[in-house]
Structures are given as C-alpha cells and as structure tokens.
C-alpha cells in the first residue's frame, strides 16, 4: 500500500474514532438522514455509539426521489437503525417555491421545523451530515441549521468528503461509492418556480436516461419546466450523442417540450452559475 493510501486510511480511522467520541457525548441524537454517503455514515455511527438513543429521520416531499427514499429505508433496515419518515411542507412556503438563491435555507427550515418537535420530545440533538468540504460551498441550508442549534458531528470530527467515503468503505457500507444525489429541486433553474409537476418531470426523465445505461445524469429544468438540459460525464458524451434519437423521445415523454445535451458535461452545482442573476438571497436573522 502506498504512503498516500496509508495516509488516507489513517485519516479516516482517526476521524471515525473522533466521530464516535463526539456522538457518545450526546444524550440522544436525531439524524437528518437522506440516504446519501454523508448522512448514512452519520446515522450508522450514531446508532453504533448510542444504540436506541439514535434515530434517523428522512424528510419526505416531492423533492425526494422515490429511489432515494427506498434506498434510505433499505440502508436503515440493513443496519438495524431506528428510522422514521416525516412529511415536510417546503412546497407550501412561497420563498421555497420562488426558488431564489436561498431556496435551501427555506427547505432546511421546513425540515428542522418538522424534526425539531420530535427531537424536543426525545430530549435529543438534531444532527446533519455536513462535512468540511461542504463548508466552502454555497449552502444556505447551513445557516438554517446554525440558527436552530443543529450539530455537525462529521465536520466536528474532521471529515472531508474523501474521508467519508474511505471510512464508509472500511465499515462495509453500501453508500461508500454512492454518487451524490441532491434533492430534485436542485435541478430547477434558480428563479423558476419549484412545483411538484416539474419535480416529477425531472425525476421521470432522469430515470429514463439511466434506463439507457447512464449511471450518472442530471436533468436540469429550464423555461418553466419545458426545456430539459441533460448533463452526463465527459466520458459518456459521445455515447449520449449516438443515443440522442432514443434519449430525446424518452425525456420528452416525461413532459418536457425540448431536450438538449449540455456540451460542458456533468458537474455538481452547475446551476450556481445563475446565482448572480437572482442574488444569493442570504436571509437575515429572524
């Protein structure tokens, strides 16, 4: 094993020990559990450290893809993690629907408003899977968490995204190599309304493209949900062009009028390029 690999393993092992110690210091913990790599590691570690004092809670709304909901259920069942689903009401909040640069603030506020009373009844802290790499991104949801005293055990333990995946692999978690899967609302262009209809259209279109053999894909919705802009990794671009006559009708059958392929390829956070047009929308206190 190379020195670099040894450093990676040692870093992850040390972070795991710090994470267990951090969680053991809590009385009870309610983990906001989306089923992604970060929250899965946190939920697993919390259950290991606190046993029945740990509860994983998944927020259910039109922005959660059905496949992600199933995956969260299966992960919790596989590892015998106490798991609960709660419905969140972000879709009824005008600020969320308006889809400004602060959309995530209002989404996470809805999550914490739903989970907070439960945590209060259990005398538990609310925890999220924020890691150190997240702290440098445009993530207004982190402000919502900070305002409500939500804890971030992964970041506290020094986890980066790389270390989350390495530690998950050491523990044998199926989420170790799981691709990032942000909420469906992240596919809607800033400044355009987030509606259940558009979210369902995006979800169906991504499933249709995956069915054609593209494991990583984003379908971005523009122009009121009439235009689908497809992102696939650079290595898959040529094949996407070859299959355009199958991709186009498949995507349009999901409710889009037009289907386009983004020649710049796939990258997380591509819609952040629109933030200067709508403003970052940093919410004020209160």
Answer whether residue 219 shows pLDDT above 60: yes
Answer whether residue 165 shows pLDDT above 50: yes
The active-site residue out of 104, 107, 183, 259 is: 183
Mean pLDDT computed over every residue of the chain:
90
Global pTM? Answer: 0.87
Name the residue range of residue 192's domain.
184-267
What's the full length of the chain, in residues?
A: 286
Instruction: Indicate whether 273 belongs to any domain.
Output: no
Residues 164 and 204 in one domain: no
pLDDT bin (cut points 50, 70, 90) of residue 3 is very low
pLDDT on residue 183: 93
Answer whether residue 5 shows pLDDT above 80: no
Compute the distance between CA of residue 225 and CA of residue 223 in angstroms, rounded to an integer. 5
Compute the distance between CA of residue 111 and CA of residue 30 in angstroms, rounded to an integer. 12
Compute the distance between CA of residue 102 and CA of residue 90 in angstroms, rounded to an integer. 13
3-class secondary-structure state, position 282:
coil
pLDDT on residue 277: 67
Answer whether residue 119 shows pLDDT above 80: yes
Residues 121 and 8 in one domain: yes
- On the CB side of 232, CA atoms within 13 Å amount to 19
pLDDT on residue 179: 87
* Element of type H or E holding 84: strand 83-87
Per the structure, the count of domains in the chain is 2
Instruction: Indicate whether 214 belongs to any domain.
Output: yes
Residues 200 and 217 in one domain: yes
Residues 115 and 29 in one domain: yes
Overall average pLDDT of the 176-183 stretch: 90
Residue with more model confidence, 221 or 3: 221
Residue 104 among the catalytic residues: no
Overall average pLDDT of the 139-160 stretch: 90
Q: How, if at all, do strands 218-222 and 227-231 pair? A: antiparallel
pLDDT on residue 143: 86
pLDDT bin (cut points 50, 70, 90) of residue 13 is confident
């Amino acid at each position: 094993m190379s020195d670099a690999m040894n450093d990676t393993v040692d870093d992850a092992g040390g972070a795991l020990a710090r994470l267990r110690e951090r969680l053991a210091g809590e009385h009870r913990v309610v983990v906001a559990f989306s089923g992604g790599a970060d929250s899965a590691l946190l939920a697993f570690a919390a259950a290991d450290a606190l046993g029945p004092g740990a509860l994983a809670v998944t927020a259910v709304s039109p922005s959660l893809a059905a496949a992600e909901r199933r995956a969260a259920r299966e992960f919790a069942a596989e590892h015998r993690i106490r798991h609960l689903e709660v419905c969140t009401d972000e879709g009824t909040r005008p600020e969320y629907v308006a889809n400004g640069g602060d959309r995530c603030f209002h989404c996470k506020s809805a999550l914490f408003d739903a989970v907070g009373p439960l945590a209060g009844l259990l005398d538990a802290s609310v925890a999220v899977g924020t890691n150190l790499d997240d702290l440098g991104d445009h993530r207004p949801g982190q402000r919502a968490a900070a305002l409500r005293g939500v804890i971030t055990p992964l970041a506290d333990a020094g986890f980066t995204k790389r270390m989350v995946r390495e530690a998950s692999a050491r523990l044998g978690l199926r989420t170790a190599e799981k691709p990032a899967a942000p909420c469906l609302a992240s596919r809607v262009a800033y400044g355009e309304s987030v509606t259940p209809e558009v979210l369902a259209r995006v979800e169906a279109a991504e499933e249709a493209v995956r069915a054609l053999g593209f494991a990583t894909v984003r379908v971005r919705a523009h122009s009121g949900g009439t235009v689908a802009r497809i992102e696939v990794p650079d290595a898959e671009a040529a094949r996407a062009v070859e299959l355009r006559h199958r991709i186009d009708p498949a995507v349009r059958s999901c409710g889009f009028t037009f289907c386009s392929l983004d020649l710049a390829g796939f990258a997380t956070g591509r819609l952040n390029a629109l933030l200067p047009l709508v403003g970052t929308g940093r919410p004020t206190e209160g």
